[in-house]
Amino acid sequence: MKKGRFGIYGGQYIPETLMKAVQELEEAYLHFQNDADFQHELADLLKNYASRPSLLYYAEKMTRDLNGAKVYLKREDLNHTGSHKINNVLGQVLLAKRMGKTRVIAETGAGQHGVATATAAALMDLECEIFMGKEDTERQALNVFRMELLGAKVHPVTSGTMVLKDAVNETMREWTSRMDDTLYVLGSVMGPHPYPTMVRDFQKIIGKEIREQLQEKEGKLPDAVVACVGGGSNAMGAFYEFISEPSVQLIGCEAAGLGSDNPKNAATITNGTVGVFHGMKSYFCQDTYGQISPVYSISAGLDYPGIGPEHAQLADNGRAQYVPVTDSEAVCAFEYLSRKEGIIPALESAHAVAYALKLAPAMRKDQILVVNLSGRGDKDVAAVARYKGVELYE
């Protein structure tokens, strides 16, 4: 099989100018993957800076209420910076440093990856510039200010549809013009090889911890793992450990926006077709001429027209299922978890919670359902207020 492929998916569909940069990154990644010193430093950062391992929390009230499977929440929201994004970013920024880079650039949707990148760059003394769709800078204004506080420069992207995909376009363009001293810290299991593999490797700690923690608490494997999917990094991180365990059902929750039959959605596996974009072959929301569709979700982090290539393979071979979850279902779940467990989830993660609300009651009481709570919801409070027609004054 060709390098960087997951079945037919993946690859390196990028301009010639960038080939040197991704090959240099691949070489560095392969080297440091087996470098004890690098791995030791990363493990130390994850433990003492990001506060891993994250808790595996037994949601007792939720379990009682749903009257089905025992529900556990993997608390990635408790990581430093408030989401799973820090796992990957610490890996990549440390790698940038070891490669001798002095500057990192990144795209961001909801702002979580941008905040995590700005954080790691501050910690490791690297210059940092973040590209964020103008529309997202408006709906996630707080995160823009957080990034600036951390010393990053934030560029609002005004091209195209002014959301996450356009931020990726602009970051790729920036990297094409300056790569000697700069690493593109990509935020998900997408883009050209080696990103889908490398980001998955930095995120697979989530699933590894779930296995260990559940072994300790219950002495067995989960029966289902549920995670939200935009590009798919938290889901890939949670799933990877269990791909070789056929008894574990893996379910990715896509953003269906106003409904998967309404054009305003971002449900890539549900509605997309195979294409080539952002450096990879995968599923994309697009028209019959291969023009990428403008997509929509209330959650800026899932507002992306593609999905990582490894997910495309898992969808094709049936190892994982991908289900659409609408804005309104996600907002209901956002409120449900806030009131039921006193945990405000990110709107992205609320998509996974929403599906768990349907799935748990359909499972047996001796079964275990793990929801990957990929991020915390503080950043989304204003968006949910807007959705509900509540005006907030700060």
Partner 1 sequence: MSKVTDAFKKRKAFIPFVTGGDPDISTTEKLIPAMAAAGADLIEIGIPFSDPVAEGIVIQEADERALKNGCTTDKLFDMVKRIREKTDIPLIFMTYYNPVFTYGTQKFMDRCVECGINGLIIPDLPFEEKEELADICQQNDVDLISMIAPTSEERISMIAREAQGFLYCVSSLGVTGVRSQIATDIGRLIKKVKEVTDIPCAIGFGISTPEQAGSMAILSDGAIVGSAIVKLVAKYGSDCIDPVVNFTRDMRRGIEEAA
Which residues contact partner 1 by CB under 8 A? 3, 11-21, 159-160, 165-166, 169, 172-173, 176-179, 273, 275-279, 284, 286, 288-292
**Comparison of 156 and 160: residue with beta carbon closer to partner 1:** 160
Interatomic CA distance for residues 251 and 254, integer angstroms:
10
Strand partners, 13: 279
At its nearest, how many Å lie between partner 1 and the CB of residue 159?
Answer: 6
Q: Which two tokens stand for residue 325?
A: 């979850």
Q: Which lies closer to partner 1 via its Cβ, residue 193 or residue 351?
A: 193
Q: Fill in the DSSP letter of residue 388.
A: T
Structure-derived torsion over alpha carbons of residues 156, 162, 164, 166, reported in degrees to the nearest 10? -90
Q: How far is the CB of 291 from partner 1 (least distance, A)?
A: 4
By beta-carbon proximity to partner 1, the closer residue of 169 and 299 is 169
Smallest distance, partner 1 to C-beta of residue 311, A: 18
Whether omega for the bond prior to residue 156 falls within 30 degrees of 0, making it cis, is no
107, 170, 310, 348: the catalytic one is 107
**Residue among 379, 374, 344, 381 at smallest CA distance from 77:** 374
Helix, strand or coil, per DSSP, at residue 195: helix
Of 19 and 149, nearer to partner 1 (C-beta) is 19
Which phi and psi angles does 269 have, rounded to 5°? -70, -40
Please provide residue 148's backbone torsions phi and psi, each rounded to the nearest 5 degrees: -65, -40
Measured from the CB atom, the residue of 21 and 356 that comes closer to partner 1 is 21
Q: Which residues pair with 154 in a beta bridge?
A: 130
Least distance in Å: CB of 18 to partner 1? 8
Q: State yes or no: is 299 an active-site residue.
A: no
Sequential DSSP letters for 110-140: SSHHHHHHHHHHHHTT-EEEEEEEHHHHHHT
Please say if 335 is a catalytic residue: no
Q: One of 70, 74, 85, 379 is an active-site residue; which one?
A: 85
- In the complex, minimum distance from the CB of residue 29 to partner 1, in angstroms, rounded to a whole number: 17
Q: How far is the CB of 166 from partner 1 (least distance, A)?
A: 8
Rounded to whole angstroms, the Cα distance separating 317 from 333 reads 30
Q: Is 107 a catalytic residue?
A: yes
Instruction: Give helix 16-33 / helix 36-48 axis angle, nearest 10°.
Output: 90
In contact, 241 and 213? CB cutoff 8 Å: no
Write down the catalytic residue from 54, 282, 374, 379. 374
- Active site positions, annotated: 85, 107, 374
